[in-house]
Amino acid sequence: MLFVQVVLPVFIIVFSGYVLEKCAKLDFRTLTLTSLYLLAPALVFSALMKREFDLGLAGNLFLFMCLYTATLHALSRGLAALLRFDAENRSALLLTTVMMNVGNFGLPLTFFAFGEAALEISVLTFVLFNIPLGTLAIVIAQGSGASLPTALVNMGKIPIFHGVLLAFACKAMGWQPPDFILRPLDLLGQAAIPLMLVMLGMQLARTQWQSRLGFFSLATLVRLGVAPLVAWGLTALLGIEGLTRAVVILQTSTPSAVLPLLYSLRFGGRSDLVAGTILTTTLLSAVTLTVLLYLLQ
């Protein structure tokens, strides 16, 4: 029943985006900008403003993010060295194993699984994991020619962080925005989650899958098999319990992120490997996430 109630609705919306792209060929850039610059920041701001912000929770999740990212990065680099991957294959492996779809897939999944009670935790997880996605992923995709200051500037351009900073500022000043501001932001934020899934389906419809069974098997094993074990162990190590534990484990066990594919295309990496792994992990996550949900109950 968990598959039908939680996982299947996510894939139905993703599939609707897939069909829409195949039939209509919509302007993907416009939808991306709408989600990135309007709906996602509204979701983050309204979710944080509607709840009392817990600095202890934020600190724990930030530490979890750092340890989780470092662990998977070290593991993937070690596997790449052991298998004697060249620089491009190593970058593709790192991009598809370290970076998960914490937003487009993770936010809707945790919402369906745990309801609005999990929204603050999942939004904070989403925001914090956008730090490596907006910095480390760019450095990996660019290879040895990467500039960390440039990556940090690019991270600062992501409006999601502006929404977080604005929410923190309002909390610090003790100012609660009036309802005529919060209500439209809340409505805009509610539109972010389904649109993220539709856009994921559209992106998958554009993905050209090429058979590289060995690479895809390795990347999928790390992303869907090893990553949940890492998350499980780190939550125990850091004393993260209850709903927070369930949300962060589930949200960080999602398929490979889509954004690194854009980085790979931009900087000339192995975009075929990245795209194929995104497609493979997204399809197989229907099984792994269902099993994980049963274990987290």
How do residues 219-256 score in pLDDT, each as one tens digit?
Answer: 999 999 999 999 999 999 999 999 999 999 999 999 99
Helix and strand totals (H; E) in the chain? 17, 0
Check whether 117 has a pLDDT greater than 90.
Answer: no
Check whether 173 has a pLDDT greater than 70.
Answer: yes
Q: Which range (15-24, 92-101, 165-174, 265-274) has the least confidence?
A: 265-274
User: 119 vs 67, which has greater pLDDT?
Assistant: 67
Strand, helix or coil for residue 257: coil
Check whether 31 has a pLDDT greater than 90.
Answer: no
pLDDT digits (tens, 9 = 90+) for 278-293: 888 988 999 999 999 9
- pTM exceeds 0.75: yes
Residue-level pLDDT at 148: 64
**Computed over its alpha carbons, how large is the radius of gyration of the chain?**
18
Mean pLDDT of the chain: 86
pLDDT band at residue 155 under the 50/70/90 scheme? low
Rounded average pLDDT over 12-27:
89
Check whether 145 has a pLDDT greater than 60.
Answer: no
pLDDT digits (tens, 9 = 90+) for 200-214: 788 788 776 666 788
Q: Which range (6-20, 73-87, 216-230, 278-292) has the least confidence?
A: 6-20
Residue-level pLDDT at 144: 57
Rounded average pLDDT over 61-75:
96
Task: Work out the percent of the chain whose per-residue pLDDT is above 70.
Answer: 91
pLDDT band at residue 80 under the 50/70/90 scheme? very high
CB 269 within 8 A of CB 238: no
Check whether 66 has a pLDDT greater than 70.
Answer: yes
Q: Which range (5-14, 160-169, 286-295) has the least confidence?
A: 160-169
pLDDT band at residue 276 under the 50/70/90 scheme? confident
Backbone CA torsion sign across 5, 256, 120, 198: negative
Q: Identify which of 101, 143, 92, 137 has the alpha carbon closest to the alpha carbon of residue 122.
A: 101
Contacts of 42 (CB under 8 A, 6+ apart): 163, 185, 186, 188, 189, 192
Strand, helix or coil for residue 53: coil
Check whether 46 has a pLDDT greater than 60.
Answer: yes
